[in-house]
Amino acid sequence: MSLVSRFLNPEVERLLLVDEGEVVVDEVPKHWITIAVPVVALVAVIPLFLSLPAWGRFWEAPLVVGLALVGWSVGVVHREHMDRFVITNLRVLRVHGVFSRHTSTMPVSRIRDIEVHQPVLGRLLGYGHLVLQTTGPERGPRDVRFVAHPEQRDRTIHRVIQAASSTRRGPAEPPWDS
């Protein structure tokens, strides 16, 4: 993988424990609402750039403002693109960061409960926040914000937990003697 692509792609596959049979069940990017304001700013810059000749000899000020808005917008969109919540068959991960990469993981066996919070706008637009409650000390991706379809992600995590717990216990023994 090239140096440039390392800054453009979250590279979740590199974090998997392939030898242990870990596979991605769900890779969750941020909901589109997190980039709505930067996209509106990018659209607003177009008329500003088109009006530069009308500014006369003061054209430098709107140019600098426009370039700053473009830089900020592209940076925010890229930062949100690099922020991923990943559910595997063994653990949950959160990967984020553009220049410095931050990774936090938690085995699914430590997840005790999941709270789903959906504000009014989140209910209308289909996003919410997940709070993972764990056994033991608070480590790993505890608070996951702006998740698309949070109820579906909640069910996915519960399915993975059930599958992991059934493989740990092994097949159920019949309650009767043969």
Domains of the chain are: 3-30+84-169 (2.30.29.30), 38-76 (no CATH)
108-121 per-position pLDDT tens digit: 988 989 999 999 99
User: How many other CB atoms are found less than 10 A from the CB of residue 25?
Assistant: 17
Residue matched to tokens 């702006």? 146
Measured distance CA(125)–CA(146) in Å, rounded:
11
125-167 per-position pLDDT tens digit: 999 999 998 877 766 678 899 999 999 999 999 999 998 877 7
Place 1 in a pLDDT band, splitting at 50, 70 and 90.
low
